[in-house]
Amino acid sequence: MKATVIFRGRENMHRDIGYRILGRLKGEITEYGVVETEPRQEGPFLDMILAPKKWSGQGPAPAPSGGPAEKAAPTRRGP
């Protein structure tokens, strides 16, 4: 995921606010994801790239296989 703060006109004078916004986002997503690329300025854009954390295997158990939802693929009947 890419988080972007766009600065327009005089907003470029307050880039520190953009860094604080992305820093707050970084703190809020630490439970769910990691930062791949720290915030960096490219023209009027301040970007940060995030990635989900690896799944630990804890969670709901998978549904049992072989249920009625799993049927053989229908065959095609042609002319």
What is the pLDDT at residue 54? 83
- In angstroms, rounded to a whole number, what is the distance separating the alpha carbons of residues 69 and 63? 11
Q: Does any domain span residue 67?
A: no
How many domains in the chain? 1
Q: Does any domain span residue 74?
A: no
Tokens 């693929």 appear where?
A: 73
pLDDT digit string (tens) for 36-68? 999 999 999 999 999 998 876 665 555 666 555
**0.75 cut: is pTM over it?**
no
pLDDT band at residue 73, thresholds of 50, 70 and 90? low
CATH number at 41 reads 3.30.110.10
Domain containing residue 27: 2-52
Sheet holding 33-42, edge to edge: 2-6, 45-52, 33-42
- Is the pLDDT at 28 greater than 80? The verdict is yes
